[in-house]
Structures are given as structure tokens and as C-alpha cells.
Amino acid sequence: MSYTNHLLTTKTFFGLKGNLKHVFIVLEISVLICCSTISYQQIATDSPYDLISLEDSLINAGLSKKNQTALALAHKNIGFIQKKKGDYVNARGHFLNALNYSYNDSVAQYNLFMINGHLLKKTGNKKKLWEAIEIYYKAIKLDQTNGEPYFFIGQCYQSLGNTDFDLILESYRKALSLQLSGELKEKVESEILLVSDREKKLKNFWK
């Protein structure tokens, strides 16, 4: 039986006992986990929302180090989902929660910097665009192999003034020289072509 079925069975059983506290659900799941190959770590990976729904009860029952690690992972995985959707506010909340359980988690810290940068960038305000650039550089310090921050730095430079071709192209080319997802790599390559073409047209105009 899958851990999802275990969860549904447990919740249904205790749902019939309206006077029992939610914490007993956690105890029941703990028994199921002990008697099978299921772990909170697995639930955090495969179905993080299920684990987070039990977070308060787990806390009330007393958190082990393994459970803290699993909750941190669940919050990060939900943060990734929300970040991909563009829901930066909710994503930020989950990465902050992850840091509550794992203070030195560099992945959560990196994503917090990226999200805070995105929120500032989204305003379009000149001052906040410069602040976003500073925050993206903080993300770079945590992961110097990832080209993602450089792409968004280039985007900020474009918003600040799309004729500052040197800074824009330098950022995009740096992004391309580092690790990127396939989707983001295509975006960077497309932006380089567009900016280079615009630079060329502007130069020809002033000849």
C-alpha cells in the first residue's frame, strides 16, 4: 500500500473520531512508517503538501532531527513549485519556513535571494531595480555555477535602459557560460540575439 493510501486511511479513521486531536494522526502514520519502507523524507519528496498538512501535529508531538530535515525539504519543494508558478510571495514563505528547520540551508537561502530580487524587479522602479541587481549578486555568492542570477541581472539592466548594451550582453553571456535549465538557456540565447540586433541597428542609424 502506498504512503498516500496510508494517509487517507489514517485521516478517514480519525475523522470519525471527532473528539480526538490531530496529533494522533501523526502517531498512527509513525506506526505505519515504522512497519514499512515509508519515511517522512519520502513523503516530503513525493507529496510535500501531505507532510506540511501534518506540520503542527508533528511539532506538538516533538520534532526529531529527521523530521525537521523532512519538513525543511517539504517546504523547499513547495517553494520550488510556487516559484515556478510565479507566486513569489508564497514561495518566499516556504523557503523562510525551510530555514526555520535548517538555518544554513544554502538552497533555501539562494532561492530567497532570487525571489526577493524578482519581487523588486517586478516593480519596475529604478531604485528597486538596482536593489534587485545587488540581491541577485548575493545569490551568485551562494551558487557560482548557476547562470540564472546573471540572466535576471541582464533583464534589470534592460529595464534600466535598454541601450546599455555592454552591461546587458555581458550579463547574458556570463549566464550562458554557466549552468542553466534548457528553458532558461533558450531565453538567454534569444535575448542575446535580440539585444545584439538592436545594438547593430542603433549603430547603423547613427552612421
Q: Which pLDDT score is estimated for 4?
A: 47
Cα–Cα distance measured from residue 132 to residue 130, given in angstroms and rounded to the nearest whole number: 5
6 and 57 both lie in a single domain? yes
Q: Are residues 88 and 109 in the same domain?
A: no
Does 23 share its domain with 57? yes
Of 103, 130, 160, the last residue of a domain is 103
Mark whether 10 and 87 lie in a shared domain.
Answer: yes
* 130 and 148 housed in the same domain: yes
Residue where a domain stops, chosen among 81, 103, 125: 103
Q: Is pLDDT at 164 greater than 60 in this prediction?
A: yes
Task: State whether 148 and 99 are in the same domain.
Answer: no
Same domain, 1 and 99: yes
State whether 73 and 125 are in the same domain: no
Number of domains in the chain: 2
Residue 112 contacts residue 128 (beta carbons within 8 Å): no
Residue of 163, 111, 161, 153 whose CA lies nearest to 133: 153
Pair 10, 54 in one domain: yes
Q: Which has more pLDDT, 116 or 30?
A: 116
115 and 184 co-located in one domain: yes
pLDDT in tens, 40-80: 889 999 999 999 998 998 888 888 899 999 999 999 999 99
Full domain range(s) for residue 17: 1-103
**Which has the minimum average pLDDT: 15-19, 70-74, 81-85, 97-101?**
15-19
C-alpha cell at 16: 470519525
Q: Which of 103, 130, 163 is the last residue of a domain?
A: 103
Q: Does residue 131 or residue 18 have the better pLDDT? A: 131
Residue 177 CA to residue 166 CA, distance in Å, equals 16
On whether both 89 and 158 belong to a single domain, the answer is no
- The CATH number for 143's domain is 1.25.40.10
Q: Are residues 89 and 131 in the same domain?
A: no
- Measure the CA–CA gap between 32 and 129, rounded to whole angstroms: 51
Sign of CA dihedral 53, 58, 63, 67: negative
